[in-house]
Structures are given as structure tokens and as C-alpha cells.
Amino acid sequence: MTLQPGRFGAIDIGTVTCRMLIADVLSDGSVQDVERAYTIVNLGEDVDATGVLKESAIARAEDAIKNYLCLAKEQEVAYGRSIPIIAMATSAARDAQNGTDFIKRIEQLGVRLIIIPGEREAELSFAGVSSSFPYEQIAVVDIGGGSTEVIVGQAGGRVLRAHSFDVGCRRVTEKFFFADPPTEEEISQARTWIRETMQPFFAELAGEGAVPDKVVCVAGTATTVVSIREEMVVYDTKRVHGARVSRQDVDLVEQKLAALPTAQRAEVVGLDPGRAPVIIAGMLILQTVMDLFDVSEFVVSESDILQGIVLAEAHGEVL
């Protein structure tokens, strides 16, 4: 489809976080961020057990989106014209029996909301990452609260293989962790389940020769490894984007966090306190993915599904 350069907005309502990006899509297809916003809303709280979105969780998402729409109005004044904005919800809303009610609540705020399937989530994540890693065969790993997407393809080109696993940091936490901090047995059981769930897809990749030149990880688990490693009192996107992370880095962070109860974990420099309850599970997923890809390092990208959404808007794609 024909690219229409301009300024676009995207809201990603995940299982743990709710984020907004307003960005300019240029005539060459590149994306330049104008404004970002980020809030931990924990929309997926207890969804794995109850099958429904809690009223308090919906209210947190509503509050975040109200704030984002105010920011968007300010950007429209500066831009001198309206900015189209689309909101997308992923794993928690997909799983919830009251997902349709959630859509109605959010759309009453004045923004269009789409609950996307895992496969489309993977495609959009890949498109967003590809904008920063052109001309390489890459694997994109997006660890979320309720699901993890793994996509292999040619950056800037077609996706070769993609899969959305119902394996996310909140889902694993609620399924396996009951002690605080989790016991060695709980962590071992979680590791086993994650690996058994994901391993068949990776075996298929290997059998087809779909081996990436580079593994690129997006979203909060991966970025947290960098911010903790660098002891960032203030999160610095420029230092995080493009950072290389070794398996030793991941192991050291996982061991440090797994030894602490949630209250102490929340005080670790570089960790968003709101992510403290679920970060250990995220680290286990990250370690498992590195093992299954048999890689000793990955690259972190701040370009992700949000960039993918604004690119889709600029191309006039039906989302």
C-alpha cells in the first residue's frame, strides 16, 4: 500500500504496561519519535485464573489513556492538525471474557480500540523493529505480560516464521510463584514449563534452517536488564536502544532479583517498582529463549510494536 507520510499516534495496552507513541513517519519509511508515555496498569491482573478483566484494572487503563489523549491534544496544537490515533490491546484482553466490554469502555474515551490476535501482534512488532535493523535476517523476541512473540524474518522484508506463545511474565508469575521470593522449586517448575511450551517451535525453526543473524529483544524485560546493569537512576532510551546484552548479564540480574522479596526488589536501581512482582518470570523467559536460540547475546531495541502500528497507519493498512 502507498505510504502517506505524516504524524500518527499509537497506544499499546498490554497485560502489564500501557504505552503511547506519537511519531512522524517520513517518506523513506523511517519513524521519528515525537513523544512517548508509559504507565504500568497491570490490566491482566488475575486474568489467567478468573478469565475476566478486573474493574480496578480497567479503571487503571482508562486513567492512563485519558492522560495520553490529553498529551495527544497538546501535540495536535503544536502540529497544527489532527493526529490519528489507534489503540491496540493484546494478550490480557484477548483472553478475557469481558474483552468486548473493555473495548466499549475505552472507545467511550474517544479512541478506536482493536484487540489483535497474537499473530498480528508478532507482525507489527517485527515491522517496528525492522525500521531500526534494515537488511538483516533477525529474530525479534517480545516478552509481554501474557504472551511472548517470536518472529524470524528479513528486516524490512517478509516474515519467515512467527509464533505467539501464551507465556508471559504475569502469566508465569501467577501460575507458579506463591512464595516471596519464589522458591528454587517454583523457579525450576516455571523454567521447565516455559521450555516445554516453547521448544517445539524452536525445533521447527532449526529444522527449516531459519537461523537468524541477530536476536533482537524488545519490551520491558529486555530493557530492564540494561537499566539495572547500567544502574540507571533515570531511564535513558538512548543508552538502552542498540545495547548488547550477554547471557552473563541476564544471569547476574536474574540471580540478584530472585534473591529478594518484592518490596526489596522494587528498590533495585534501574527497575521500575511496578515491574518488581513479575520481573523474575520475565528473566526466566528471556534465559529460555536465549538457550533455545543457542545465543550468547542479544540486542535491545526501543523500536517495537508501537512503531509497527504507526507504520501500518501510514500505509493505510486495515488493522
Over the stretch 110-168, which tens digit does the pLDDT of each residue have? 988 888 777 787 788 888 887 677 677 889 999 988 889 898 988 766 788 888 898 99
In a domain, 29, yes or no: yes
Average pLDDT over residues 171-176: 94
Secondary structure (3-state) at 236: coil
In a domain, 1, yes or no: no
Beta bridge pairs of residue 31 = 25
In a domain, 18, yes or no: yes
Number of domains composing the chain: 2
Q: Which of 200, 207, 211, 225 is nearest to 286 (CA)?
A: 225
In a domain, 28, yes or no: yes
Tell me what the pLDDT averaged over the chain comes to. 89
Q: Which of 55, 46, 49, 62 is nearest to 13 (CA)?
A: 62
Rounded to 10°, the helix 184-208/169-176 angle is: 140
- Same domain, residue pair 111 and 142: no
- Same domain, residue pair 83 and 189: no
pLDDT of residue 91: 66
- Same domain, residue pair 145 and 236: yes
What does the alpha-carbon distance between residue 235 and residue 228 come to, in Å, rounded to a whole number? 10
- Same domain, residue pair 257 and 147: yes
pLDDT of residue 196: 97
β 137-143/214-218 pair status: parallel
- Same domain, residue pair 239 and 155: yes
Pseudo-torsion of CA 215, 37, 46, 172, nearest 10°?
20
pLDDT of residue 143: 93
The winner for highest mean pLDDT among 139-148, 274-283, 310-319 is: 274-283
- Same domain, residue pair 91 and 190: no
Tell me, yes or no, if the pTM score tops 0.75: yes
The residue behind cell 528471556 is 286
Q: Tell me which H or E stretch contains 300.
A: strand 297-300
- Same domain, residue pair 39 and 137: no
Average pLDDT over residues 88-107: 83
Average pLDDT over residues 253-266: 96
Strand order in the sheet with 85-89: 31-40, 17-25, 6-13, 85-89, 112-115
In a domain, 319, yes or no: no
| Domain extent for 111 | 6-118+305-314
As given in the structure block, the three cell numbers for residue 1 are 500500500
Better-scored residue on pLDDT, 137 or 248: 248
As given in the structure block, the three cell numbers for residue 73 are 491534544
Average pLDDT over residues 255-280: 95
> What is the domain-level CATH number for residue 84?
3.30.420.40
Banded model confidence at residue 21, pLDDT cuts 50, 70, 90: very high
- Same domain, residue pair 142 and 109: no
pLDDT of residue 98: 86
Over the stretch 50-65, which tens digit does the pLDDT of each residue have? 888 899 999 999 999 9
Over the stretch 73-94, which tens digit does the pLDDT of each residue have? 999 999 999 999 989 887 677 7
As given in the structure block, the three cell numbers for residue 317 are 493498512
- Same domain, residue pair 259 and 290: yes
